[in-house]
Amino acid sequence: MVATPEKRQVSVVEIPINKVKVANRLRATSPEKIEEIAISIQEIDLLHPITVSEKDNYYHLLSGHHRLQAFKSLGRQTIPASIRESDELIDQLIECSENLARSGLNVIEVSDHIIKREDLLSQLGKRASVGDKRWNRTGLTNSDLAKSIGCKERAYLYKKSVANLHPEVKDILSSTEFANNLMDLVALSKENDEVQLLVANLLATGKCSTFKRALTLARCQAYPFDWQEEQLRIKDLIGKPKSVMRWSGETSALSRLCKLVSHDEDCQVIKQSWGTQSSPLAAMHPDHCAYLINFYTKEGDLVLDCMAGRGSNLLVAAALGRRCVGYDLSTQNLKRIRKVCEEHTEIDPQDLTLHHSCGVQLTEYAEQENVFDLVSFDPPYVGNPEKYGSDPRDLCLVKDIDQFNSKMEECLINLKRLIKKSSWDKKEFHPIAIKVGSCRRGEDGLTDMSTEIEVIARRIGLKLHDKVVNVLDSQWAMFTLSRCIDHKYSVKTHETTLILVKY
């Protein structure tokens, strides 16, 4: 029968410091805290005695490690102590409870303390059992335990779940800044051991500076890409083509592939920040790219993205067995796109051509025509709402709408020459697919890029073959909601893809 704390005799006496034994502690001491306590002791003496248990002519420390170290730093020979009868389970429970009630533990340490405390409470018969009803329950519940450390039950369960991390992962991350991010560690605890270990090593070695980036790389390394299976998924995705499409599949193989570039720290650009939240510049959804590529081309066809950015069109085309040509004004983007294509897709390096050049002028193809089976690109929004780079040729820097449209017309004239002819009779179509949005300019009103480009296309002899509305599920729309209400216009929840052909 284990004695309960209420039945123990407690006395406070001065005990020799050299007789106090400190076992392996669950919480490390802080030199700053020790110095702070030492100063307090010198000024007003010790207000709260340490707690020890007596066993084999020694005193085993239960609580007050910082106070003990402060007395040692002051050269004291004795220290006031509350002496409890020794009981291993109770001693460990006291230490766990005291540490959880104090600050200074990282998330991994908190989780280990929670699991240890629950185990001790179960051994002492004080933990509620699974299946207990509220009218016969006598033990402590998750809700009770959560309240005891000052948090809600949901947060308590999150903290507890971190204990599912692989032991080696805990060791690797415990001394890093990443040991303090609860939700990242919760997400990591749901991955298998291989992914966990890969993430931990990427973060600890500095190969990745963010958790999201490390998780993306680890998943790609742990789960090999099966592009034949992805081809079948895309064919099924197309189903019956509709004029309004919604793109999801954030965990698909194509999505993981594209995140290797779009979430790369050297390629990612932040558009706006709200406190601790930030909105990266948007990239074309991988399934949207796959829809266009799979619908209009076959394996071995040649696909062009003249404004590649983070390369979603090129990455997807490479994964689906197409040959690719890409243009961008960022050498970093192009280097990363090539590296990911060559390492994670089956494309022959000779079938991937990347130009650090202007995708409006397309000078590398100035003397050619009828080259490409599909052109698919996502130009910057008109009106300079986003900045991708500082190259003066970049359309994102053009604020004047007429100047922007002039550049787009030059681009479309070149693309009209380079795209293969379509045939209505043979049902052969080689489109220029352009994803566009709209821009609000205060008193100058709304500029709809699809309208502007349709006018340009008609003027230069391109035909509007189709128009698809793409539903946006952006989490960032909430940040513009109040502004939209104030100015009496709708929150933008769509973009448009124009399908242009030449006959």
Residue ending a domain, among 162, 192, 222, is 222
433, part of any domain: yes
Radius of gyration of the chain from its Cα atoms, rounded to whole angstroms: 32
**pLDDT of res. 273:** 46
Q: Kindly tell me if the per-residue pLDDT of 25 is higher than 70.
A: no
* Full strand arrangement of the beta sheet holding 352-356: 244-246, 463-471, 494-501, 432-436, 374-377, 302-305, 323-328, 352-356
**CA geometry: angle 464, 465, 470, nearest 5 deg:** 90
pLDDT of res. 238: 67
Domain at 303, CATH number: 3.40.50.150
CA 384 – CA 389 distance, rounded (Å): 11
Average pLDDT of the chain, as a whole number: 84
Residues 207 and 259 in one domain: no
The answer on 267 and 251 residing in a single domain is yes
- Residue 382 CA to residue 447 CA, distance in Å, equals 8
* Mean pLDDT score, 255-275: 70
**pLDDT single digits (tens) 396-453:** 888 888 999 999 999 999 999 999 999 999 999 999 999 998 888 778 888 889 999 9
Q: Could you tell me if 182 and 295 lie in one domain?
A: no
Q: What's the confidence (pLDDT) of residue 226?
A: 78
| Pair 91, 213 in one domain | no
Specify the number of domains making up the chain.
Answer: 3
Q: Which token pair is 335?
A: 């280097």
284 plus 214 within the same structural domain: no
With a pLDDT cut of 70, the percent of the chain lying above it is: 86
Q: Is 194 exposed, middle or buried (0-12, 13-18, 19+ CB in 10 A)?
A: middle
- Whether 91 and 198 map to the same domain: the answer is no
Q: What is the dihedral of CA 280, 308, 385, 410, to 10 degrees?
A: 180
What pLDDT digit, counting tens, does each position of 164-205 carry?
Answer: 999 999 999 998 999 999 999 999 999 999 999 999 999 999
Instruction: Give the C-alpha distances (Å, rounded to integers) separating 444 from 298, 383, 401, 421.
Output: 44, 11, 11, 38
**What confidence score (pLDDT) does residue 2 get?**
38
Contacts of 282 (CB under 8 A, 6+ apart): 271, 474
Q: Which residues of 14-34 are buried (b: 16+ CB within 10 A; e: fewer)?
A: ebebeebeeeeebbeeeeebb
How confident is residue 136, by pLDDT bands cut at 50, 70 and 90? very low
Q: How many residues in total does the chain contain? A: 503
**127 part of a folded domain:** no
Residues 355, 409 within the same domain:
yes
| Shared-domain flag, residues 411 and 455 | yes
Cα–Cα distance measured from residue 353 to residue 273, given in angstroms and rounded to the nearest whole number? 35
Q: Which domain holds residue 60?
A: 5-96
Q: Tell me the pLDDT tens digit for each residue of 342-391.
A: 999 999 999 999 999 999 999 999 999 999 999 999 998 886 657 677 78
Range of lowest pLDDT (223-227, 236-240, 328-332): 236-240
| Position 279 pLDDT exceeds 70 | no
CA angle 41–45–46, rounded 5-degree value: 85
CATH code of the domain covering residue 28? 3.90.1530.10
- Cα angle: 407, vertex 395, 435; to 5 degrees: 85
Q: Same domain for 395 and 280? A: yes
344, 205: one domain: no
Same domain, 182 and 304: no
Does residue 125 fall inside a structural domain? no
pLDDT of 9 strictly over 60 = no
**Amino acid 105: pLDDT:** 85
Q: Which amino acid is at 381?
A: Y
Cβ proximity of 388 and 396 under 8 Å: yes
Residue 243, amino acid: S
Stretch 52-76: mean pLDDT = 85
CA dist., res. 296 & res. 373, Å (int): 8
Our CA dihedral for 370, 374, 378, 379, rounded to 10 degrees, sits at 10
pLDDT score for 129: 63
Q: Among the three residues 186, 207, 222, which one is the final residue of a domain in this structure?
A: 222
Whether 235 and 215 share a structural domain: no
DSSP string, 223-279: S---HHHHHHHHHHHHSS--SEEE---TTSHHHHHHHHHHT-TTT--EEEEETTEEE
More confident residue, 473 or 218: 218
Would residue 119 count as lying in a domain? no
Tell me if 117 is assigned to some domain.
no
**pLDDT reported for residue 148:** 75
The values of phi and psi at residue 284, to 5°, are -65, 135
Share of the chain above pLDDT 90, in %: 44
Q: Is 364 helix (H, G, I), strand (E, B) or coil?
A: helix
130 domain-assigned: no
Rounded CA gap, 426 and 420, in Å? 14
Of 197, 222, 247, which residue sits at a domain end?
A: 222
The whole-angstrom separation of Cα 288 and Cα 303 is 15
